[in-house]
Structure 1
Amino acid sequence: MASSDCSKPPSTQSVPFKSKGMDDISHVLDPDGDVIIVLEKSTENRPTDASSNDSPDNEPKEEDPEEKPQGIRIRVSSKHLALASPYFKRMLGPNWEEGKSLRATGTTSITATDFDLDALLVVLNAMHGRQDHLPRKLSLEMLANVAVVVDYYQCHGVVDMAKELWINNLKPSFPTTYTENATLWIWVAWVFSAAEEFESATTLAIRQCPGPFSPLGFPIPSVVITLRSHLISQDELSKKIEAAIDIIHTSLDRLLIRFRDEGTACSFNCNVMLFGLLSFAMHKRRLIKDSGTLMVRATSIYCHSRRKTFQNMIEALREIESEEPRVPRLHDSYESSKSRCGLRGYINSLIDDVEGKIAGLSLSAFQ
């Protein structure tokens, strides 16, 4: 997934650090810093999925010690790290080797692995109070990578102000169907406690995910990955989906009866028009009657799973809801105008009812 819309953090001062046989270009966040963070195995855009390393072609090869990469070196301040992150506070304390080295020699190095370099620099700049070095906009994928660093180092507070700006800038492009972006939103919302986005993204996953949920290599907790284990069992979810499908069947059936028998619309002509329009739309979209009961024809709407069936039915209802009926004008049988009556209100109410029965997860339930 490209991240071309990501505003990269402004370049920090780069200086060479001498090491055995090579010069390392490092970023300096504090010229007087007493800690060197060495980033090894920097990722490109996304954390590595361990499953991708199972191929025989990925067997580890012997490395020449003289050619072993030294990593990207970043000079930082131990005081800023310890103040911003409980993780670094423990590591630089008296009980860890890094802390012992710092006390004995006045400097130490810390190895970081599997982080995106730009995401790591964003977080380290925030830790050092370098607000002018923080980008105003991030792509969704880069924000997900920033969330990986924040979550690992337990430093949520340093990006409290910036995260609101980053998330708000991304809201207009929030997905309306289940794609990889929905998974990224689940991760971002989980780390940054964005309750509304978390519920919306998990709603998409629960309703539309065609198979087992994939975290895409991000460390989403298992209770969220299952999307059900914490709040709802697989069996209970299936029952909810079946109940929602039954509601669609029953509601459409009752709506036809109302138009036919009860005079729901403003006039007899409108009742006839709405009855015919709904009947035609249901047949057109394979929401048809069979033996007196509405059903979904197996060759079209009923697809690979009941969850897919439900989503296709909702899409069919939205198509019906958008149709505007037209009725003949009394003074001119050859012209027509939009009727004041329509299906929109009835179908909207039905969609709201059934979608409310299969909602996403509440972030507060995990806290």
Structure 2
Amino acid sequence: MAPTVIADPDGDIVLLLDPEERDGPGSPSYNRHILCSSKHLTLASPIFKAMLKHTFSEGATLMTIGQVKIPLPEDDPTLMTSLVLLIHNRHNHPDIRPPRDLSLLNRAAILVDKYQIHEAVSYFTAAWARCYLDHNAIRFHPFREFPLLFCVAWVFELEAPFKEITRFIQYNCVGSIKDLMEIGDEDLPIPAGVIEMLETARLGAIEDTIQVLASLIAKYQNRRGAAMCRVDGTQLTNFNLVHAHRDMCDATVLGSLTRGAMQEGLYPAAATGDLRNGSVYLVMQRVLGVNFTTGCENLRDLMPNPPGRPRRVYSCHGIREQMGAAMMDVKGRLSGLDLKEEKGRFKSSPFLGYR
């Protein structure tokens, strides 16, 4: 006979977990039973509350006989046992097994969401997750595990980790975030709108990064006679050559910058479509890696000032630094999502808006 875990000695419901595989037809036998209270289950879970109404077979059996067995063949027996015991306030029961790794935490989060028991177990599930994250920093996880981290932070309502996790996904996800979240056969309980918000931010940051280079090229194209090169008479011995040199330098920057951007697939706009399949990080690295030159590259050791210390022309004119500063601004706007705001958008119904 299968062992019975006693959540409530006066219980009227037996949950059946961990079915044995059967070769032929017929009902399977279950390796774990949990004796529990319909009152506790219905108070904690709207799913069990609906199931135990007289309009469902389980509820009708309970009303007629006074006890009912409910098979839960798909639920993890260890995690479900722990959650049911917590619902019954059996906090020190020896059969409570806190999940110790991310996969188990994620499965616990899926169960909590499946039965909508967030409030009843929130203190303990949040403690489980924080204990795990205290020993396993978010940034050290392989990227393939970030959907699981996302799910855990969302379901267990961990504000700071949620913001850090979503920011990391925004910045590092290669390709669609929706595709990233579709792992294996598990449908993670995260509203589609939350994922769409992340994807919108990712694509927006890629567009802004591409625009950094496009704006710089446009700046040189539309300089309207005002030279960008700042070489002056202190750097060229022949002052009459200053204006000609400035024009030549700007033309060199424009030509080499345009050529380098085209080689990296960053220019013109019509050629940048494939970049949306990369990550914000990778696109930023492409922009910073664009090869260009200036007309001032050959100006060296001109007009010593003070004596013995030759003044050198800053040959790249700070262009790469400008690009870097602009991209740091783009990166700074990728701040992750605010958990309270996102929860507020999907609070109206737990059954709407999920993938």
State if a TM-score over 0.5 links the two structures: yes
Q: Secondary structure at the match of 2:157?
A: coil
Give the superposition deviation at 1:174: 0.9
1:83 matched to 2:43? The reply is: yes
Q: Secondary structure at the match of 2:2?
A: strand
Larger strand proportion of the pair: 1
Q: Secondary structure at the match of 1:110?
A: strand
Q: Does the aligned pair in 1 maintain the 2:275–2:283 contact within 8 Å?
A: no
Find the counterpart in structure 1 of residue 8 from structure 2: 30
1:110 matched to 2:70? The reply is: yes
Q: Secondary structure at the match of 1:356?
A: helix
1:143 matched to 2:109? The reply is: no
Give the superposition deviation at 1:243: 1.8
TM-score (norm 2): 0.61
Give the Cα–Cα distance (whole angstroms) in 2 for the partners of residues 29 and 183 of structure 1: 33
Correspondences of 1:72-221 after superposition (within 5 Å): 72-133=32-93, 134-135=96-97, 138-169=100-131, 170=133, 172-175=136-139, 179-207=143-171, 208-211=173-176, 212-216=179-183, 217-220=185-188
Stretch deviating more after TM superposition (162-171 or 310-319): 310-319
Correspondences of 1:1-367 after superposition (within 5 Å): 23-40=1-18, 63-65=23-25, 68-70=28-30, 72-133=32-93, 134-135=96-97, 138-169=100-131, 170=133, 172-175=136-139, 179-207=143-171, 208-211=173-176, 212-216=179-183, 217-220=185-188, 223-224=191-192, 227-228=195-196, 231=197, 238=203, 240-247=205-212, 291-293=256-258, 295=261, 297-298=263-264, 305-308=275-278, 310-314=280-284, 350-362=326-338, 363=342, 364-367=344-347
Give the superposition deviation at 1:126: 0.9
Is the radius of gyration larger for structure 1 or structure 2?
Answer: 2
CA distance change for structure 1 residues 185 and 222 in 2, over 3 Å: closer, same or farther?
Answer: closer
CA distance change for structure 1 residues 67 and 35 in 2, over 3 Å: closer, same or farther?
Answer: closer
**Structure 1 unmatched runs, 5+:** 1-22, 43-60, 255-259, 263-287, 320-344
Q: Secondary structure at the match of 2:9?
A: coil
**What is the Cα-based RMSD across aligned positions, in Å?**
4.9
Find the counterpart in structure 2 of residue 270 from structure 1: none
Q: Secondary structure at the match of 2:14?
A: strand
Per-residue CA distance 1:257-283 (angstroms, 9 max, x = gap): xxx959xxxxxxxxxxxxxxxxxxxxx
Q: Secondary structure at the match of 2:100?
A: coil
**Structure 2 unmatched runs, 5+:** 220-228, 232-252, 266-271, 290-320, 348-355
Q: Does the aligned pair in 1 maintain the 2:212–2:327 contact within 8 Å?
A: no
Stretch deviating more after TM superposition (240-249 or 159-168): 240-249
What one-letter code is carried by the residue in structure 1 that aligns with 2:211?
A: D
